Chain A
Amino acid sequence: MSLEYKIVNVVATCDLGVRINLANYARTNVASVQYNPDVFRAAITRLKDPSSTILVFHTGRLVITGAKTCDTARSQADRMKRLLKIRKAPMSFKVQNIVTTASCHKSINLVALYAQIVTHAQDKIKSVTYEVEIFSGLQIKLNQGCIIVFSSGKIIVTGFTSRSLINECYDEISSFLTQYGSSFIRASSIGI
C-alpha cells in the first residue's frame, strides 16, 4: 500500500542579521502588520499569494509559518528581506517542522493497532498513547517526529524537518500496514 501524502504546513526560522525597529515597521511601512508589544513582542505580518504568516522579532529573526512547501517558505523569507529593506545577503534559514497528512482509505481499529504496535514495533518508537477520554486519535511518538492515526484512516505525520525523513517515515508506516494490517484494518472498507 503506498501512501501519498500532502504537505499542509511548513514552519521555518530565519535570521536576517540586523536589528529591526518594529515600531517603525509596523506603523508606517506595511499593510497587514500587527504589532502590539504589550501582548507579544513580535510583529505579525501576513502575506498573500502564496499566503503565510511571519513573525518578525527586533533581533532580526523571523518565524515563517503557514507555507505549503519548503520553497515557499524560503521565498517568503526573501520577500520579508525586501519588505524590511534589508540589503545584507547572509541569511540563515532552517526548516523546523513539516506537517503532512495522508489517508490510507480504510477504517482502522485503533485498539487492535495499539496492540500490534506494542508487540511489534517497540524499537523504533518512543511511546504510543491511545487514551480515548483524552484524544480520539492514536499518537505514536518517534525519535524525531510524531504520527497520529484516526479511525477514519487519516494519518498525520509531523515533527520532521526534511522530505527525506518524511518519506522514510511513510515507507515505514506503509510497510507496517501491509505486514500487520489485516488485524486492525476493516477488511471490507473500500477506498475511493
Chain B
Amino acid sequence: MGRTCPFCSSSEIDEDPSRADVVCMSCGSVLEESAIVSEVTFQERAGGHDIVGQYVSRDRQQTGLVGVPGLSRTESREVTYQKGRKLIQEVASQLRINQHCIETAFNFFKMSVSRNFTRGRPRSHVVAACLYMTCRLENTSHLLLDFSDVTQVNVYELGKTLSNLTRILKIQLPTTDPCLYVLRFAIMLEFGDKQKEVVTLATRIVQRMKRDWMATGRRPTGLCGAALLLASRAYGFSRSISDVVRIVHISDTVVRKRLDEFASTPSGGLTIDEFASVDLEHSEDPPAFQEARRRAREEKRKKEERDAEAATKELAPVQKEIENALKAKLKKSPYGKLIASSVGEDDVDELSSNIGQMVREEIIDNVYEYADDDFYDDDPGPSSSRRIDCGPTLEFLGVKPNSSIDESVVSEDEEILVDDNDFDDLDDSEIDSYILSESEAKLKSRIWMKRNGPHLVEMERKRKLRQEEEEAKAKDPNRKRRPATRKRDPINAANHSDAMAQVIKEKKLSTKINYDVLAEIENGTLEILDDAPRHAHMTMPKVLKGEQIVEPSSPAREEEVPEAPAESSSPPENPLANLLSPKPAFRRKKQSAMAACLADAAAARMAKAKRALAAAGPPPPLSPTPKRQKRDQSPVKSPPSNPEPRVTRSAAKSKV
C-alpha cells in the first residue's frame, strides 16, 4: 500500500506484524503501534492447528446463535432470498446456465422482492422470469419454452410474468434473434464433422429470411427448423421434418409453411452454390402482407367479373336489336339472294318476286336461328352434337370438350353484409317470429326440463337451506350484542372557545389535569402573584410595566391564559404552579409540557398585543424562550413555595 510518512514524506514504511508496529525507515518515526491486523490466525489445539474464528458466508446465514432465546433465528427477507436462490440454482443447473447468469438472476430476484413482486405470485414463476431475463440479456440460446419445461408452468403464464417483471424493473429486453438458436439445434441434430458448414449455411438462410421479412412476428424456432432442414439436405444429411419437429419444439405444419414461404422468395429459387455466393439485393414483403394483398386482389378481380357480366346482360337486348336490323338489311342485299339462291326461283317459275322474297327471308331466318342457337346456348352437351352438321367435331379434332367451361355464377360470397339501419319501426311481427308457438313451446319445455330439471331442484334446495340458515342466525340468543353507541348531544356554543370548553367538560381529555384550577383560570378568579425579581433577559416586562395592555381580542378567546391587564408590579403567583401542585412528581413532565403549550399560547398573544400597542422599543424575540421553559421546568420539584420566576417564565410574561 502506498503509505507515506507524514514527517519525512518517505514511502519506505515497514510493517511488522509480530510487533504490530508500523515504522518509517528513513526517519524512524513510529506511525502505528499495536496495530490491528486482519489476517488468518491459527491456534494450537488437541487435534492440530485450527483456524481462529468461524466462516461467515456473504449472505449472512446465522448458524451460530442457536441457543439464545428471544432472538429470532432468521429474518423473513433473508429466508425469501435463501429460498429464491435455492430455486434459481435448481432451475439453472437443469438448463446449464452459468454461474455469472445465476448471480445476475439472483440480483434481479432481490430487486423484485424489494418491489413486492414476489407477493401473490408463485416463486417458480418469478424465478423463471428472472432467469429468462438474464438469459435474454446475455443472448444465450434459451427459450421460454425450456423454462416452461423445467418448471412445468404454462408458457403463456411465464410470458405474462415476464412482461410484468420487465415493466416493474423498467428493463427493456433485446428482441430474440433466430440466429442464436441455430447452433444449439444443430448440435442436437448431430451433424458430426460437417456441423460447422451446416451451421453456417443455416445461419445464412435465416439471415436471408430476416431480410425477406419472414421473421417478424414469427417464432424464431420455426425459422431455425426450416433453415436447418434445408442446410442438412444441402450437405447430404437425411434429416426429416419429424426429426426437426422433435428437436425444435415446433409443429410440422409450421415447418412446411416456412419452407413454402422461403421457396416462394426469389432466394429460394437459387441453387445452393448460388445461394452461398450471391446475396440478392431486393427484399420481399412479409408473407402475411402478401396473403392479404393477394386476397384483396382476388376480391377485386371477382368484383370486376361480376360487373362485366351485369354489363353484358344489360347489353343483350340492344345487341339483339342491332342484329335484327342487320339481318333485315342482309335480306335485301345481294348477299341474301346469294344465300338463298340454291332454293330459288330457278326451280319454281311461278314464284313471284314477293314469294321469292318471303322464301329467301325464311331461309335467312333459319340460318340466323341456327347460328344464334349455337352462339347463345350455354349447354355444351347437345350443342356439340348439333355441330355435327357444321363441321368436324371437337372430338374429331382430338380436343376433349371441357364440360366445365366456367361457373356461371360466382358464389355469392361473404364480403359485405348489408347493414339495414331502419329500426324505427321495429314491429311486433318480427318479435313474434321469435316467439314459439304453443306446441313448439311445449316440446322445448319438455326437452329443457329433461336436461336441466335436476339442477333446478338442486338450486331450490340450496336456496331453502340458505334461508333457514339466515333465520337461525337471526334468532340466535347467544348472539353477541355490540354495545350501542350512545348518541352524543350536539354542541351549541357561541364560538370556538366555548365549544372547546364544552368538549373538554364532556370528554375529560386528560386525567392528569386539575380541571378545577383550569376552570378558575378561565373564570379569571385566580389571583396572580409573583414576588420574584425579573430575570435579566426578559425585556418585555419593562415595556409592559405601567402600561395598560389593551387586549386586542375578546376576553373569552383565551380561557386558559390569564388575561389580567393589571399594572401591578407584584409578580403573579404561578397559576400553573397550582396546577402542578397536587400531582406526584413523575407526572410533572407531562404537566410541564401542558404548561409549555399554554405558555406558547400566552406568548403568542402577548406578542400580538405588543405589536398592536406600537409601544417604544423593539419587541423581544419570544420564540426562543418557550423552549427554554420546558427544560427549566423539569428540575422544579417543589413548586408552590418556589418564588423563582424562572419556573414559569410564561406566567411572568402573562402577568401584567
Q: Which residues of A contact B (CB under 8 A)?
A: 23, 26-32, 35-38, 47, 49-50, 68-69, 71, 75, 78-79, 82-83, 103, 107-111, 114, 118, 127, 129-137, 150-154, 186, 189, 192
Contact with B288, one of A26, A35, A150 (Cβ below 8 angstroms):
A150
B114 part of interface (Cβ distance < 8 Å) = no
B286 contacts A151, CB within 8 Å? yes
Residues of A within 8 A of B353 (CB): none
Interface residues of B in 440-460 (CB under 8 A from A): 440-442, 444-445, 448-449, 451-452, 455-456, 459
Closest A-chain residue to B424, C-beta based?
A75
B421 contacts A27, CB within 8 Å? no
Given contacts A27-B445, A152-B292, 15 further A-B contacts (CB under 8 A): A28-B442, A29-B436, A30-B435, A36-B452, A37-B452, A82-B426, A83-B435, A114-B175, A127-B167, A133-B144, A136-B219, A150-B217, A154-B292, A186-B283, A192-B300
Closest B-chain residue to A138, C-beta based?
B217
Residues of A within 8 A of B155 (CB): 133-134
A31 contacts B436, CB within 8 Å? yes
Residues of A within 8 A of B291 (CB): 152
B175 contacts A132, CB within 8 Å? yes
Of A107, A108, A153, most buried by chain B (CB within 10 Å of CB) is A107
A192 contacts B445, CB within 8 Å? no
In the assembled complex, the CB of A14 is this many whole angstroms from the nearest CB of chain B, namely: 15
> With contacts A37-B456, A132-B175 known, is A50 near B213, CB below 8 A?
no
Contact with B452, one of A38, A75, A154 (Cβ below 8 angstroms):
A38
B436 contacts A151, CB within 8 Å? no
Residues of A within 8 A of B167 (CB): 127
In the assembled complex, the CB of A83 is this many whole angstroms from the nearest CB of chain B, namely: 6
Residues of B within 8 A of A107 (CB): 213, 285-286, 289
Closest B-chain residue to A34, C-beta based?
B448
B465 part of interface (Cβ distance < 8 Å) = no
A-B contact pairs, 22 of them (CB 8 A): A23-B456, A29-B436, A32-B434, A35-B452, A38-B452, A50-B420, A71-B423, A107-B286, A108-B216, A109-B213, A109-B216, A114-B175, A136-B218, A150-B288, A151-B286, A151-B288, A152-B286, A153-B289, A154-B292, A192-B296, A192-B297, A192-B300
Contact with A132, one of B163, B220, B417 (Cβ below 8 angstroms):
B220
Closest B-chain residue to A48, C-beta based?
B434
> With contacts A68-B419, A111-B175 known, is A27 near B285, CB below 8 A?
no
A132 contacts B162, CB within 8 Å? no
B216 contacts A151, CB within 8 Å? yes
Residues of A within 8 A of B459 (CB): 37
A134 contacts B159, CB within 8 Å? yes
In the assembled complex, the CB of A94 is this many whole angstroms from the nearest CB of chain B, namely: 19
B91 part of interface (Cβ distance < 8 Å) = no
A83 contacts B217, CB within 8 Å? no
Of A36, A110, A131, A137, most buried by chain B (CB within 10 Å of CB) is A131
Taken together as a complex, chains A and B put the C-alpha atoms of A144 and B608 apart, in Å, by 56
Residues of A within 8 A of B219 (CB): 132-133, 136
Residues of B within 8 A of A135 (CB): 159
B213 contacts A186, CB within 8 Å? yes
A133 contacts B176, CB within 8 Å? yes
Contact with A151, one of B145, B217, B456 (Cβ below 8 angstroms):
B217
A152 contacts B289, CB within 8 Å? yes
The A interface is mostly helix, strand or loop, or mixed, namely: loop
Residues of A within 8 A of B426 (CB): 75, 78-79, 82
Contact with A82, one of B216, B297, B431 (Cβ below 8 angstroms):
B431
B213 contacts A134, CB within 8 Å? no
Residues of B within 8 A of A26 (CB): 448
In the assembled complex, the CB of B309 is this many whole angstroms from the nearest CB of chain A, namely: 23
> With contacts A23-B456, A30-B436, A186-B285 known, is A131 near B172, CB below 8 A?
no
In the assembled complex, the CB of A53 is this many whole angstroms from the nearest CB of chain B, namely: 14
> With contacts A35-B452, A37-B455, A68-B419 known, is A127 near B163, CB below 8 A?
yes
B25 part of interface (Cβ distance < 8 Å) = no
Residues of B within 8 A of A29 (CB): 435-436, 441
Taken together as a complex, chains A and B put the C-alpha atoms of A75 and B430 apart, in Å, by 13
Of B143, B297, B431, B451, most buried by chain A (CB within 10 Å of CB) is B431
A38 contacts B455, CB within 8 Å? yes
B293 part of interface (Cβ distance < 8 Å) = yes
Of B167, B213, B217, B459, most buried by chain A (CB within 10 Å of CB) is B217
B7 part of interface (Cβ distance < 8 Å) = no
Residues of B within 8 A of A109 (CB): 213, 216
Chain B contact residue count (CB 8 A cutoff): 52
Taken together as a complex, chains A and B put the C-alpha atoms of A135 and B155 apart, in Å, by 11
B428 part of interface (Cβ distance < 8 Å) = yes
Taken together as a complex, chains A and B put the C-alpha atoms of A50 and B417 apart, in Å, by 10
In the assembled complex, the CB of A128 is this many whole angstroms from the nearest CB of chain B, namely: 9
Pairs A-B, 3 closest by C-beta atoms: A136-B217, A152-B288, A134-B159
Residues of A within 8 A of B300 (CB): 192
Taken together as a complex, chains A and B put the C-alpha atoms of A75 and B425 apart, in Å, by 11
Residues of A within 8 A of B292 (CB): 103, 152-154
Residues of A within 8 A of B428 (CB): 82
Contact with B441, one of A28, A36, A75, A108 (Cβ below 8 angstroms):
A28
B456 contacts A189, CB within 8 Å? no
> With contacts A75-B426, A150-B288, A153-B289 known, is A134 near B216, CB below 8 A?
no
B42 part of interface (Cβ distance < 8 Å) = no
B289 contacts A151, CB within 8 Å? yes
B370 part of interface (Cβ distance < 8 Å) = no
Taken together as a complex, chains A and B put the C-alpha atoms of A103 and B296 apart, in Å, by 12
Contact with A along B141-167 (1 / 0, CB 8 A): 001110000000001100100110001
Closest B-chain residue to A110, C-beta based?
B216
Residues of B within 8 A of A49 (CB): 420
In the assembled complex, the CB of B380 is this many whole angstroms from the nearest CB of chain A, namely: 37
Closest B-chain residue to A184, C-beta based?
B216
Residues of A within 8 A of B434 (CB): 30-32, 47, 83
In the assembled complex, the CB of A34 is this many whole angstroms from the nearest CB of chain B, namely: 10
Interface residues of B in 7-40 (CB under 8 A from A): none
Taken together as a complex, chains A and B put the C-alpha atoms of A96 and B472 apart, in Å, by 42
Closest B-chain residue to A24, C-beta based?
B445
B163 contacts A131, CB within 8 Å? yes
> With contacts A79-B426, A134-B156 known, is A27 near B289, CB below 8 A?
no
Residues of B within 8 A of A32 (CB): 434
Closest B-chain residue to A68, C-beta based?
B419
B143 contacts A133, CB within 8 Å? yes
Taken together as a complex, chains A and B put the C-alpha atoms of A82 and B436 apart, in Å, by 14
Taken together as a complex, chains A and B put the C-alpha atoms of A26 and B445 apart, in Å, by 8
Interface residues of B in 398-428 (CB under 8 A from A): 417, 419-421, 423, 426, 428
Residues of A within 8 A of B286 (CB): 107, 151-152, 186
Taken together as a complex, chains A and B put the C-alpha atoms of A168 and B219 apart, in Å, by 33
Contact with A83, one of B144, B431, B440, B451 (Cβ below 8 angstroms):
B431
Residues of A within 8 A of B442 (CB): 28
Residues of A within 8 A of B448 (CB): 23, 26-27, 35
Residues of A within 8 A of B213 (CB): 107, 109, 151, 186
A27 contacts B444, CB within 8 Å? yes
Taken together as a complex, chains A and B put the C-alpha atoms of A133 and B435 apart, in Å, by 49
Taken together as a complex, chains A and B put the C-alpha atoms of A133 and B222 apart, in Å, by 10
Residues of B within 8 A of A110 (CB): 216-217
> With contacts A109-B216, A151-B216, A192-B296 known, is A79 near B159, CB below 8 A?
no
In the assembled complex, the CB of B440 is this many whole angstroms from the nearest CB of chain A, namely: 8
Residues of B within 8 A of A129 (CB): 163
